[in-house]
Amino acid sequence: MLVRCRQMDGRQPRVLRAAFTLIEVLMCVTILALVMAGVIYGYAQTNRFAEWSSMSLAAQSYALQGLEQVRSAKWDLQANPKIDYLPAPSDGSTISYAPQSDYMDVPATGAPFTVTNCISLKRINPGSAPQLRQVTSVCYWKFPRTGQVYSNTVITYRAPDHQ
């Protein structure tokens, strides 16, 4: 950088040489590198969180799908003979059905992500009316970046079609 200063007393202008020192340049580069690293890290974390959220939402949808399958099963106590496609133990204990595995409905490249849904039924207030069953649908899935297993759970009650 070259700066010329004029003096008013008629002498020749003096030339000043001003520039950044090596330390100042290194400090600027260091600060720039730290800021860029923070921006890249923030972008990576945002991408990771968005991927986790999409997988969690897909697992929740799969758990709801299993719950809706149980809720749509025929359970009619007025029919002759009685229809009960999802029997539950009469003593109030819990019965679990075989886990169902499927592929997660998440757009991705590479191998598909698997999800496992476990459905269980428990009879509420056994021996008394109205008959009521607790339906629990738990969906297990693994986040591929960390390998950690997560679960999404949906619980509801179901009564017979007619009482």
pLDDT at 73: 83
Q: pLDDT tens digits for 47-99? A: 999 989 989 999 999 999 989 988 888 887 777 887 877 777 777 778 888 88
Residue 1's pLDDT is what?
56
C-beta separation of 122 from 137 below 8 A: no
Q: Is residue 51 part of a domain?
A: yes
Q: Is residue 120 part of a domain?
A: yes
pTM of the model: 0.72
Cβ atoms < 10 Å from Cβ of 15: 9
In a domain, 13, yes or no: no
DSSP 161: S
pLDDT at residue 126 tops 80: no
SS3 25: helix
Q: For position 80, what pLDDT does the model report? A: 80
- Residue-range definition of the domain harbouring residue 123: 22-158
Give how many domains the chain has, as a whole number.
1
Cα 136 to Cα 154: distance, rounded to the nearest angstrom = 6
Does residue 8 form part of some domain?
Answer: no
The number of residues making up the chain comes to 163
- The pLDDT value given to residue 140: 95
Cα–Cα dist 155/71, whole Å? 11
- Asked if 140 and 149 count as a contact pair (C-beta separation under 8 A), the reply is yes
The yes-or-no verdict on residue 28 having pLDDT over 90 is yes
Look at residue 59 and tell me if it is in a domain: yes
Q: Determine, yes or no, domain membership for 17.
A: no
Asked if residue 96 belongs to a domain, the reply is yes
